[in-house]
Chains A and B, each alone.
Chain A
Amino acid sequence: MQKNTSTLLQTYLQYQGSPFSDPGFSAPELQLSSLPPAAVPFKIWHALDDGERLSQAQGAFQALTQHLQLVGDDQSNLNPGSPILLAQLGVARLRAQGLLGNVAAIMNALGLPVPPEKDTIGVVPFGASAFERKCRGYVVTREYGHWTDRAVRDLALLKAKYPA
């Protein structure tokens, strides 16, 4: 899944045209207000307890699934002739959804309250330009990767805490 996220990012950028498809493209400063950033200082992350970590991940992946859906919709408009990208976006969304389910199951198993699903996008995306949408997609796919990495770390930690 981790590997697939970077593949997705690469594939996404490849299909967006310049400047996104230029080698070494990176725009870390771009952020979406509706999507919580995965980057978090290690100390803070370390200080979080299991419930907080899981609920943050839960919330992030809820948002990610919605944003991946949004990006998928955008891309089906912008790049209708690229089924590979669309398929990968679909798979990514499904995986995010699956991870969400798994995290929810873990939280349930740990007796933590599962936060209800909420609409994080709202009316923001509509009326955006193509460039805006491409940027949004970029951020979403990047954050998807970041959050996946973080979730892996979260779960590895959790796994260490609760062997078997």
Chain B
Amino acid sequence: MIWKYTSKMMLKVWLVQVLVVFLITECIGELVDTCGVISPESPVIQSGSNFTAFCVLKEKCMSVYEVNASHIIWKVNRVLIPEEQYTVINATTSSVTFTNTGLLNVQLICNILAYGQIEMNVYGVRIQTGFPPEKPKNLNCVVKEGKKMLCQWDPGRETHLETNYTLKSEWATEKFDDCKAKPDTPTSCLVDYSPVYFVNIEVWVEAQNALGKVSSDHINFDPVDKVKPNPPRNLSVSNSEELSSILKLTWINPSIMNVMRLKYDIHYKTKDASTWSQIPPEDTATTRTSFTVQDLKPFTEYVFRIRCMKADGKGFWSDWSRDASGITYEARPSKAPSFWYKILSHTQDSRSAQLIWKALPPSEANGKILDYEVTLTRWKSCSQNYTVSDTNFTVNLTNDRYIATLAARNLVDKSDTSILTIPACDFQATHPVTDLKAYPKDNVLWVEWTPPNKAVRKYILEWCVLSDKSPCVPDWQQESGTIHRTYLRGKLMESKCYLITVTPVYGDGPGSPESTKAYLKQAPPSKGPTVRTKKVGKNEAVLEWDQLPVDVQNGFIRNYTIFYRTIIGNETAVNVDSSHTEYTLSSLTSDTLYMVRMTAYTDEGGKDGPEFTFTTPKFAQGEIEAIVVPVCLAFLLTTLLGVLFCFNKRDLIKKHIWPNVPDPSKSHIAQWSPHTPPRHNFNSKDQIYSDGNFTDVSVVEIEANDKKTFPEDLKSLDLFKKEKVSTEGHSSGIGGSSCMSSSRPSISSGDENESAQNTSSTVQYSTVVHSGYRHQVPSVQVFSRSESTQPLLDSEERPEDLQLVDNVDSGDGLLPQQQYFKQNCSQPKSSPDISHFESSKQVSSSNEEDFLRLKQQQISDPVSQSYGAEQMKMFQGVSTTDAFGFETETQAEKLETLGMEAALDEGMPKSYLPQTVRRGGYMPQ
């Protein structure tokens, strides 16, 4: 039991011992169990100075980890410090030196390399840098009334360290408790004792941090000299019925007035003013509870405020009191109102006049105007009184002269009277003002004039906006008779034209009015002038435009500028005076598009009008006539002369132009076949001739033409074609042939030889054919074409058909042969025939086939044979040589293969004639 107890006790003691030991070792271990220490322990360094830290290793560690001081490495914020900064002082101590340290707040760690390689922390310290406190400056204290003393100072530069500022204060006999500035307001401190006035106190401030301690200059003062009183309370304003120019202020002083005398600062202003006026300080330099402000305007609201301070000026001004306002009492209106009249209507023996006057401005009314007293005195008669509350009064007057007076009345009294003389009806106004000018200056419109040489009682200025849209509603103002310059006191608008009228008023009535125009501020016109042409000539254009309406002018139009340009050319500008409405642009180019626009300028700038486009004509007016008429006349004259000449020399011409064609009717052949009519005879003869000719030529052709006539061909080709054309519409072969012979010279008149040849050949042709016909009739039969002689006769037997065709084509087939020829010959000249020919040419290729078919028909069908014969006749009309020449040239191959048939092929389709003939020929059938 005992043992047990003892052992229990023992256990307990042991446990306690163990616990104690454990705790001790725990605590000590934490504190002690480091391999070394850094000194200084918690360094605070002045920025910019040098600093050295030492790390001292413990022997135990050194042996355990096999290290010495040379194994120490230093780190700053886990960054290795260069080894140059290390110094191994002895086996256990290493130091690191920082030179010229900046502002830093870093962790400096001492490490060892255990066993030469394992890095171990030994000890760490935090380094703080900063500055010692500067001497606080500008220490000053203020005692707000009812509060404790507050002292402020300027702490100087930032120390970057925790710095304590302590405000110390003491009396000569006693020290007060320190006032420690709060960290967030290191520049001021509110002492915790009530200020004791009239006892001097000494105050200074001490600043202290890890790097030093410094105290400010001591200041010694009586707290009463540092007082900032409370502002006066309950400021009130009252006016005086006796004096309209004063207001009395009363207030309650702050309680500090028990301790010290006060002085005041009173500010006042009218209600709408923005700046305060000050009561002279010498008037308010003593303690008081009221003050009377003088020299105020009657019936005006004033605002006041007040503040106070110690009378000797030591200490501080209180804050401003709350504003208080009051209105001065009313006074008699200081001026008579402006007074004027208008005659509204005028009949034989009465007039309606409107008396008008201006409400007095508040500065002159000095109160609320209750009404106006108007008296009207007819000339040499008793006066009538009216009381009007409005500012105008309409009254009927006779034509006599009247004198009207006007006085404004307020609560206090009535004003002086304005006197106005309304002259009799027959009164002639005279003596106007002279040199009336109006000009803007300082944003108002000034009016200036030279007074007339007669005593002027007053001037009346009237003005209104000139506008096309609205009527002139005049405003007016009155000026005293002594001035000759004023500004318009109405609300004027910019860029509006004002018509200003100045009327001097004399004792016997108004003088003559004088007017001028002015702008308060000009602007560029809101619209430009629209320019248009009045007249456009070849080289000049007369432009015209309208004056701008007054509403868009926005100023005095000083000048215009006309810009004109061609579509590609440069713009040309012309300045035109504003008085013009027309301008002539000269030296323009004819037949050119011009663009013209116009700018109107006021003093402030210009505005473009719309662009106008016009084109100058190619010719001046009458130029065309001037050209055309003479030309026509000349032409007419020439023609006339030509005709005259021709007429005179018609025989000669006739001789030259028309070859002497033998009259077939007078030929022997005509008598050769007496049974047939002359025409028939002719035709048949012609046929015969053609036949003969044809055969004759054919013979020649066969013999030699193939080769011989080639040279001529090229020339004759055209002729040939034309001949064929010329022969178109002619049913008879003779027509064609004769035409050919006659037309040739006319076509190529320059080719005299050829024509001569042809003519001769024609002559020859008729003779040769004639003889050849008879002789060679049998030989013709050798050719298949010779069969056409028969149909030829057939056709001779049907002259009507031919004639019909004649009629159709030329319309004058019935004319005598002479004329017929003539016509034929002239035809080749005309172009329509050529086109005919060309169309026939086009047909030609297709007609070839037709012709072959025709050929067959000729063989098989007697009717067609006759038809073919007719065609043949046509063909025979053509010069055989030419025809062949043509054929050979164009279709030489065909000629070789087809022989004579080829000649037909070619000849037929080329001519238009055969077709018409064909038709003509067919119709009867």
Q: Is B258 among interface residues, defined by CB-CB distance under 8 A? A: yes
Stretch in contact with the other chain, from B33-41, B194-202, B705-713, B843-851: B194-202
CB contacts under 8 Å to A, within B226-272, are: 258
On whether A98 and B194 interact (CB within 8 A), knowing A3-B258, A104-B172, A105-B172, the answer reads no
CA distance A1 to B172 in the complex (A): 19
Q: Which of A91-108 contact B (CB under 8 A)?
A: 91, 94-95, 97-102, 104-105
Which chain B residues border A101 with CB–CB below 8 Å?
171-174, 199-200
Q: A90 interface residue, CB < 8 Å from B?
A: yes
Complex interface: chain A residues within 8 A of B193 (CB): 90, 94
In the complex, which of the residues A1, A90, A97 contacts B171, with contact meaning CB atoms closer than 8 Å?
Answer: A97
User: Taking CB as reference atom, which chain A residue is nearest B171?
Assistant: A101
Interface status of A158 (Cβ within 8 A of chain B) = no
**Alpha-carbon distance A95/B174, docked complex (angstroms):** 12
Bound-state Cα–Cα, A95 to B171, Å: 11
Q: Which residue of B lies closest to A3 (CB)?
A: B258
Q: Mostly helix, strand, loop or mixed at chain B's interface? A: loop
Q: Which residue of A lies closest to B259 (CB)?
A: A1
Q: Give chain B nearest CB distance to A66 CB in angstroms.
A: 13
Cβ contacts under 8 Å, A97 to chain B:
171, 173-174, 196
**Is the C-beta of A87 less than 8 angstroms from some C-beta in chain B?**
yes
CB neighbours of A105 from chain B (8 A): 172
- The residue on B at minimum CB distance from A97 is B174
Interface flags, B143-181, vs A, CB<8A=1, else 0: 000000000000000000000000000011110000000
Q: Is the CB of A99 within 8 A of B199?
A: yes
Given contacts A3-B258, A98-B199, contact A87 B172 (CB under 8 A): no
Residue of B nearest to A103 (CB): B173
Q: Smallest distance from the beta carbon of B312 to chain A beta carbons, Å?
A: 14
Give the residues in chain B near A104, CB-CB below 8 Å. Answer: 172-173
Q: Separation in Å of the A86 CB from the closest CB of chain B?
A: 12
Q: Separation in Å of the B194 CB from the closest CB of chain A?
A: 5
Which chain A residues lie closer than 8 Å to B197 at the CB level?
Answer: 1
In the complex, which of the residues A90, A97, A99, A102 has the most CB atoms of chain B within 10 Å of its own CB atom? A102
0 or 1 for each of B475-507: is its CB under 8 Å from A? (1 = yes)? 000000000000000000000000000000000
B287 to chain A, nearest CB (A): 16
Q: What's the Cα separation between A3 and B173 when bound, in Å?
A: 24
B196 (CB) vs chain A CBs: closest residue: A98
Q: Which residue of B lies closest to A114 (CB)?
A: B173
Q: How far is the CA of A94 from the CA of B149 in the complex (A)?
A: 14
Within the complex, what minimum Cβ distance (angstroms) separates B169 from chain A?
12
- Interface SS of chain A: helix
- Give the total of A residues in contact with B, Cβ under 8 Å: 15
- Chain A residues within 8 Å of B199, by CB: 95, 98-99, 101-102
Q: Cβ of B173 and Cβ of A100 under 8 Å apart?
A: yes
Complex Cα–Cα for A104 and B174 (A): 12
Q: Report the bound CA distance from A102 to B197 in whole Å.
A: 11
**What's the Cα separation between A48 and B104 when bound, in Å?**
71
Q: How far is the CB of B258 from chain A (nearest CB, A)?
A: 6
Determine the residue in chain A with the shortest Cβ distance to B176. Answer: A94
> Smallest Cβ distance from A152 to chain B, in angstroms?
11
Give complex CA distance A101, B172 in Å. 6
Residues from 590 to 617 in B contacting A, C-beta threshold 8 Å: none
Within 8 A of B (CB), among A22-80: none
Most A C-beta atoms less than 10 A away, residue of B173, B174, B198: B173
- Say how far A45's CB is from chain B's closest CB, in angstroms: 23
Complex: A90 Cα to B198 Cα, angstroms? 17
Task: Given the known inter-chain contacts A3-B258, A98-B199, A101-B199, please indicate yes or no for A87 contacting B173, CB distance below 8 A.
Answer: no
A156 to chain B minimum Cβ distance, whole angstroms, is 14
Residues of A within 8 A of B171 (CB): 97-98, 101
Give the distance in Å from the alpha carbon of A33 to the alpha carbon of B888 in the complex.
Answer: 183
Q: How far is the CA of A94 from the CA of B195 in the complex (A)?
A: 9
| Closest-CB distance, B136 to chain A (whole angstroms) | 26
Q: How many Å lie between the Cα of A100 and that of B171 in the bound state?
A: 10
* Smallest Cβ-Cβ distance to A101: which chain B residue: B173
CA distance A3 to B198 in the complex (A): 15
In the bound complex, CA of A94 to CA of B199 (Å): 10
Chain A residues with Cβ under 8 A from B172's Cβ? 101, 104-105
Question: In the complex, what distance in Å separates the CA atom of A110 from the CA atom of B173?
Answer: 18
A3 to B256, CA, bound (A): 12
Max count, chain B CB within 10 A of own CB: residue among A3, A94, A97: A94
Question: Which residues from chain B contact A94 at a C-beta distance below 8 Å?
Answer: 193-194, 196
A140-153 interface code vs B (CB 8 A; 1 in, 0 out): 00000000000000
Q: Which of B173, B196, B200, B258 contacts A91 (CB 8 A)?
A: B196
Proximity string of chain B (185-215) to chain A, C-beta cutoff 8 Å, 1 when within and 0 when not:
0000000011011111000000000000000
Alpha-carbon separation in the docked complex, A91 to B199 (Å): 13
- The answer to whether A102 and B198 touch across the interface, beta carbons within 8 angstroms, is yes
Given A97-B171, A97-B174, A98-B171: A90 touches B194 (CB 8 Å cut-off): yes
Most chain A CB within 10 A, of B171, B174, B196, B197, is at B196
Q: Cβ of A1: which chain B residues have Cβ within 8 Å of it?
A: 197-198
A100 to B174: give the CA distance in the assembly, Å.
10
Q: How far is the CA of A143 from the CA of B196 in the complex (A)?
A: 20
Which residues from B are CB-within-8-Å of A3? 258
Write out the residue numbers on chain A whose beta carbons fall within 8 Å of the beta carbon of B173.
97, 100-101, 104
Least Cβ–Cβ distance between B201 and chain A, in angstroms: 9
* A91 (CB) vs chain B CBs: closest residue: B194
Shortest distance in angstroms between B827's beta carbon and chain A's nearest beta carbon?
A: 150
A98 touches B258 (CB 8 A): no
Asked whether B258 lies within 8 Å of A95 as measured between CB atoms, the reply is: no
In whole angstroms, how far apart are the Cα atoms of A140 and B845 in the complex?
163
Q: Measured between alpha carbons, how far is A91 from B196 in the docked complex, in Å?
A: 8
Residue of B nearest to A87 (CB): B194
Docked pose: A104 CA to B173 CA in angstroms: 9
How does the 8 Å CB contact mask read for B375-403 relative to A, with 1 for contact and 0 for none?
00000000000000000000000000000
Closest chain-B Cβ to A161's Cβ sits at a distance in Å of 19
A122 CB → nearest B CB, Å = 21
Q: Which chain A positions have C-beta within 8 A of B258? A: 3
Nearest A-chain residue to B172, judged by Cβ: A101
Quick one: closest A residue to B194, CB to CB? A91
Give the distance to chain B from A43, nearest Cβ to Cβ, in Å: 30
A94 to chain B: closest CB distance in Å? 5
CA gap between A39 and B200 in the complex, in Å: 29
Nearest-neighbor residue (CB-CB) of A98 within chain B: B199
Residue-wise interface mask of B (716-732) relative to A, using a CB-CB cutoff of 8 A (1 in contact, 0 not): 00000000000000000
B198 contacts across to A, CB distance below 8 A: 1, 98, 102
Docked Cα-Cα span, A94 to B174, in Å, equals: 9
Per the bound structure, the CA–CA distance linking A97 and B200 in Å amounts to: 12
Task: Choose among A1, A3, A87, A104 the residue with the greatest number of B CB atoms under 10 Å from its CB.
Answer: A1
A100 partner residues in chain B, CB cutoff 8 A? 173
Cα(A13)–Cα(B173), bound, Å: 30
Interface centre among A87, A91, A98 (most CB of B within 10 A): A98
Contact indicator per residue, chain A 1-32, by CB within 8 Å of chain B (1) or not (0): 10100000000000000000000000000000
CB distance from A69 to the nearest CB of B (A): 12
- What is the distance, in angstroms, from A53's C-beta to the closest C-beta of chain B? 19
Q: What are 6 of the A-B contact pairs (CB < 8 Å)?
A: A1-B198, A97-B196, A101-B171, A101-B174, A102-B198, A104-B173
Interface pairs A-B: 7 shortest CB-CB: A98-B199, A101-B173, A98-B196, A101-B172, A101-B171, A91-B194, A94-B196
Residues of A that sit less than 8 Å from B by CB: 1, 3, 87, 90-91, 94-95, 97-102, 104-105
18 further A-B pairs in the complex, CB-CB below 8 A; given A97-B173, A97-B174? A1-B197, A3-B258, A87-B194, A90-B193, A90-B194, A91-B196, A94-B193, A94-B194, A95-B196, A97-B171, A97-B196, A99-B199, A100-B173, A101-B171, A102-B198, A102-B199, A104-B172, A104-B173
Query: Which B residues have a C-beta under 8 Å from some C-beta of A?
Result: 171-174, 193-194, 196-200, 258
